[in-house]
């Protein structure tokens, strides 16, 4: 029988305190989330706005002010308003248009929102995110303008990427180099199957689902 709380404690002990450990709870029942909350977990990831709403995260966050919720799945622009209400950090920004909507909503709701730009380090067409470094650089420049316009509610924190199974280390190295070139501090990379390599390559945000919940479909 799965024991998410024990799995999370073991991972938290193995991961440096300077690294943020996100329990990706997509597809998990409310009881599993509450077990992790009782164990002390305060950072969670969800991949769908509707599912996050159904789980009652707004109420949970009201009850636990130190709880931080991350959006790690693809986000549609028409969900921007709800996403800003629910989430503290969006890892999957893949267009300036989406960033603009999020920035406007963050200011309207007076909600501080951190965002990361997703870069397609694996090269897989099925994944979201920027596919060229030139496009990514342009997006960074545009989001920095949005930071100034919508300060202090909108902040570009870093980059997110999903590595290929064939060459995770090379993919992570590339993302780290890009983040460094833009002076972006947050590096969201590493899931259940490759988190140790991601740590070695400089990740400071891990997105872990399967290794905690023992559900093969949990990772982002």
* Gyration radius from the chain CA atoms: 16
d(CA 55, CA 48) in angstroms, rounded, equals 11
Residue 188 predicted with pLDDT over 90: yes
Structure tokens at 54: 């159904």
Which pLDDT band holds residue 180 (cuts at 50, 70, 90)? very high
Which pLDDT band holds residue 216 (cuts at 50, 70, 90)? low
Structure tokens at 57: 């995260």
For 3-33, the pLDDT digits (tens) are 999 999 999 999 999 999 999 999 999 999 9
For 31-90, the pLDDT digits (tens) are 999 999 999 999 999 999 999 999 999 999 999 999 999 999 999 999 999 999 999 999
Distances (CA, A) of 164 to 12, 18, 210: 24, 25, 17
- Give the DSSP H/E element, type plus range, for residue 82: helix 80-86
Q: How many CA atoms lie within 13 A of 177 on its CB side?
A: 8
Set out the domains of the chain in order of their start, with CATH numbers.
20-213 (3.20.20.10)
d(CA 69, CA 81) in angstroms, rounded, equals 15
For 91-120, the pLDDT digits (tens) are 999 999 999 999 999 999 999 999 999 999
Residue 217 predicted with pLDDT over 70: no
Cross-strand pairs, 113:
154
* Nearest residue to 117 (alpha-carbon basis) of 153, 91, 144: 91
User: What confidence score (pLDDT) does residue 168 get?
Assistant: 98
Structure tokens at 64: 């636990």
């Amino acid at each position: 029988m799965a024991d998410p709380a024990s799995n999370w404690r073991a991972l938290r002990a193995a991961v440096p305190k300077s690294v943020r450990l996100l329990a990706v709870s997509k597809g998990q029942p409310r009881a599993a989330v509450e077990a992790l909350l009782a164990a002390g977990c305060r950072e969670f990831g969800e991949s769908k706005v509707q599912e996050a709403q159904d789980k009652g995260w707004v109420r949970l966050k009201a009850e636990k002010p130190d709880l931080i919720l991350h959006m790690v799945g693809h986000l549609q622009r028409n969900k921007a308003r709800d996403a800003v209400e629910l989430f503290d950090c969006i890892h999957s920004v893949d267009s300036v248009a989406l960033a603009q909507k999020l920035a406007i909503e963050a200011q309207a709701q007076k909600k501080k929102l951190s965002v990361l730009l997703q870069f397609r380090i694996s090269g897989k067409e099925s994944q979201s995110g920027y596919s060229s470094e030139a496009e990514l650089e342009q997006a960074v420049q545009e989001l920095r303008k949005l930071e100034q316009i919508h300060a202090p509610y909108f902040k570009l924190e870093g980059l997110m990427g999903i590595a290929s199974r064939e060459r995770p280390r090379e993919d992570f190295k590339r993302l780290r180099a890009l983040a460094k070139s833009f002076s972006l501090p947050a590096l969201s990379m590493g899931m259940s199957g490759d988190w140790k390599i991601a740590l070695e390559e400089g990740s400071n945000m891990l997105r872990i689902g399967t290794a905690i919940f023992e559900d093969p479909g949990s990772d982002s």
